[in-house]
Structure 1
């Protein structure tokens, strides 16, 4: 966010000096970084909501691999699930479950994006990523 604002300020200074091309380039870079910052913020809010939802499920139903199963496809979701399980005393079981599925620390990209990189832009993927707990329609 600060980088985007810094580029915006530099662009305004270039525009004031009459350097339209440089100001436009800086504005494009700043806009791009602003979009990245907004997506990162939306992802953080979504993961926090998901953490709270998973924690509530563990408190209500106890530890169950059925709770963890739909969360295995994404590193962010796995991390939220392991943290929530750890908060209620089942962290080692959740880590062992995901390790048993073959996930390691370097599996960062979601499974769907690994199979098809363009799926990152699909409405179904974005809905599943930023609206946890909601069913994604086909």
Structure 2
């Protein structure tokens, strides 16, 4: 069941930004944080003792490392978005597709952006509401259920190393053909 009435499709870059909106807000914060810690580190190197230098190095590295994690997470969520959009386009609204992306706020956002662009957002939102997902569920469910998630390969692969996905459809071309 391929969706027949395709809404106007946004440019891919806009979709990329919408999918990772929360991530990119945090990216700005991590960049500002790294800058602040860098300034503090430089001051500590010139005027303070070893303990403060170590503290500011740790803070700076924490923020600086997170910049790259956020970028990798955003890229992975964009891969989720492209896959979800293809799946929704082919199958229409499907609970199994929604369940694939229910794990974290960012994955749900990827599925919701894909669904919105296909006119299915209301159904997906209602399904997530029925499953007990609240707007404030930011922390991924697996982090709550498994405190040792950082030591699992699946976490690193699914969060930061999602393989590149090439969409099966050019939705802008399809949308133009439908409107003619």
RMSD: 2.2
Larger deviation: 46-55 or 82-91? 46-55
Alignment partner, residue 61 of structure 2: 31
Aligned length: 134
Deviation of the 1:81 alpha carbon: 0.7
Deviation of the 1:90 alpha carbon: 0.2
Q: Do the aligned partners of 2:76 and 2:163 also contact (CA within 8 Å) in 1?
A: no
Deviation of the 1:133 alpha carbon: 6.7
Partner residue of 1:117 out of 113, 131, 147: 147
Q: Under a length normalisation based on structure 1, what TM-score does the superposition of the two structures give?
A: 0.81
Alignment partner, residue 79 of structure 2: 49
Larger relative contact order (Cα-Cα within 8 Å, sequence gap ≥ 6): 2
Runs of 4+ that moved beyond 6 A: none
Deviation of the 1:18 alpha carbon: 6.2
Q: Under a length normalisation based on structure 2, what TM-score does the superposition of the two structures give?
A: 0.65
Q: Do the aligned partners of 1:11 and 1:27 also contact (CA within 8 Å) in 2?
A: yes
